[in-house]
Amino acid sequence: MLRKVLVANRGEIALRVINACKEMGVRTVAVYSEADRNSLHVRFADEAICIGPPRPTDSYLNVPAVISAAEIADVDGIHPGYGLLSENANFAEVCRASNVKFIGPPPEVTRLMGEKEKARQAMKKAKVPILPGSDGVLANEEEALEWAKKVGYPVILKAKAGGGGRGMRIVRSAEELPNLYHAASTEAANAFGNGEMYMEKFIERPRHIEFQVLADEHGNVATLFERECSIQRRHQKLIEEAPSLKVTPKMRDEIDKTLRRCLTEIGYQNAGTVEFLMDEDGQLYFIEMNTRIQVEHPVTEFITGIDLVKAQLLIASGEKLSNILPAKLEMRGHAIECRINAENPVKFTPSAGKITAFNVPGGNGVRVDTAQYAEGVVPPYYDSLIAKLIVHGATRAEAIAKMERALSQFVVQGIETSIPLHQAIFADERFRAGDFDTKFMERFLAERSS
């Protein structure tokens, strides 16, 4: 087992990882920026090292600073959490060169999945369903026009180095393709240092459904069912749930078989998430893979009873999946998560400052992952997520009732939060009926403001 782990993150996920380490007898080292001196991840780690000024590029994203801290503290593992350095293959390589175990997949696999079109072709080769589209990246505008004609409009142009919605353009006709192609490519070149594009058939009203996977270092892969993540605004998820109302046991089984074969072939290791779009006919198509633990992992933990962060630590210590998971994974009940953000619930402007009152709901089937507390401070430099409220019920209806009760008891004063927005979504009949897709929030907000 790993002896001592450095947590290269902040906020709720840093505390989440520290808690898993503590429960497994692994020593912990927090790193923090000057803005996070009084944070709970610092307080609850066995050791803490300041790695620089508040701005992420000066601290949490500063690879030499993080690696120096790992060397000073003499750790044998680094957990990157999500965001920050978690999907940085170069960082994973530096860890390897420093003889520190990066708790995640090998850098080669992270690099493959980061090149979205390469990942797509790898999935295609392993018979994972993908959307019709270009074979590899587009050489130029002429080739884009040829593929679009073959695939049929509308199509979507995506950046090979992109992800998360940046560098994408929807193209509805040949006339508008040239301008959109050049705009997207220029945007991608500026944002990612790579302007290469690929193309897919565009799905108008997709659902976003993702499968959790775990893979050990001995070639064994398991899938832990799916999460439904369609309730999002500008690619920021607001609510996630598991299981999805639209995935049938047969589809779940097929995806499980295909992903196990495919990810073994690729040499995947540790926790990961495979993202799919579901079209209006209920078909699932691979879009990308995230090579990290995700924000919404707790909904999967609730329905499977598996601690995914502990599983990550065990896998990184060389443990076999057969010693981590039960012989047959069962799915129990329904779980829903609300991402509580420090922001204005109508304008979505960030709300930094001091929290003056903080009451966290509890009770049967209610979990709150947070590193915040009364008198705590939300700095302006980072992601606005301050807490995750997760509930588990026997049915979706019970989970919804529990979430409404818990939201009404979640008190945060001194800053603005998204809690009122979550309450409004839970009151929406279409949401309650499970009648939604990735365009839900756009319609919901337009209706509310009119």
CA distance 298 to 366: 11
Signed CA dihedral, 312, 313, 316, 321: sign only: negative
234 is catalytic: no
**Max CA pair span of the chain:** 62
- Which residue of 5, 70, 156, 316 would you call a contact of ligand MV4, by CB under 6 A? 156
- Which residue of 42, 203, 239, 403 would you call a contact of ligand MV4, by CB under 6 A? 203
What single string gives the DSSP state of each residue in 331-377? --SEEEEEEEESB-TTT--B--EE--EEE---STTEEEEE---TT-E
Stretch that binds ligand MV4, among 139-147, 178-186, 195-203, 302-310 (CB under 6 A): 195-203
Query: From the CB of 145, what's the least distance to ligand MV4, in Å?
Result: 18
Token pair for residue 338? Answer: 């609300």
- Which residue of 26, 438, 441, 444 would you call a contact of ligand MV4, by CB under 6 A? 438
Q: What is the DSSP letter of 166?
A: B
Q: Which is nearer to ligand MV4, 208 or 227 (CB)?
A: 208
Query: From the CB of 51, what's the least distance to ligand MV4, in Å?
Result: 30
- Contact between 131 and ligand MV4 by CB under 6 A: the answer reads yes
- Contact between 362 and ligand MV4 by CB under 6 A: the answer reads no
Stretch that binds ligand MV4, among 60-68, 88-96, 194-202, 302-310 (CB under 6 A): 194-202
Give which of 327, 337, 307 is closest to 399, Cα–Cα. Answer: 337
- Contact between 235 and ligand MV4 by CB under 6 A: the answer reads yes
CA distance 322 to 319: 8
The owner of tokens 């587009």 is 138
Count, residues near ligand MV4 per rule CB under 6 A: 17
Token pair for residue 405? Answer: 């009760």
Q: Which residues on neighbouring strands pair with residue 320, listed in sequence order?
A: none
- Contact between 284 and ligand MV4 by CB under 6 A: the answer reads no
- Contact between 198 and ligand MV4 by CB under 6 A: the answer reads no
- Contact between 288 and ligand MV4 by CB under 6 A: the answer reads yes
Q: Which residues on neighbouring strands pair with residue 334, listed in sequence order?
A: 393
Stretch that binds ligand MV4, among 54-62, 117-125, 199-207, 315-323 (CB under 6 A): 199-207
Contacts of ligand MV4 in 21-50 (CB under 6 A): none
CA distance 329 to 225: 9
Q: Which is nearer to ligand MV4, 341 or 351 (CB)?
A: 341
Cα dist from 122 to 83, 104, 127, 203, 250, whole Å: 24, 20, 9, 21, 24
- Contact between 202 and ligand MV4 by CB under 6 A: the answer reads yes
Query: Coil, helix or strand for 274?
Result: strand
- Contact between 208 and ligand MV4 by CB under 6 A: the answer reads yes
Token pair for residue 159? Answer: 């950046």
Backbone angles phi and psi of 92, in degrees to 5:
-60, -35
Name the active-site residue from 16, 169, 292, 367.
Answer: 292
Residues that bind ligand MV4 (CB under 6 A): 131, 156, 163-165, 200-203, 206, 208, 232, 235, 277, 287-288, 438
Query: Which of the residues are catalytic?
Result: 292
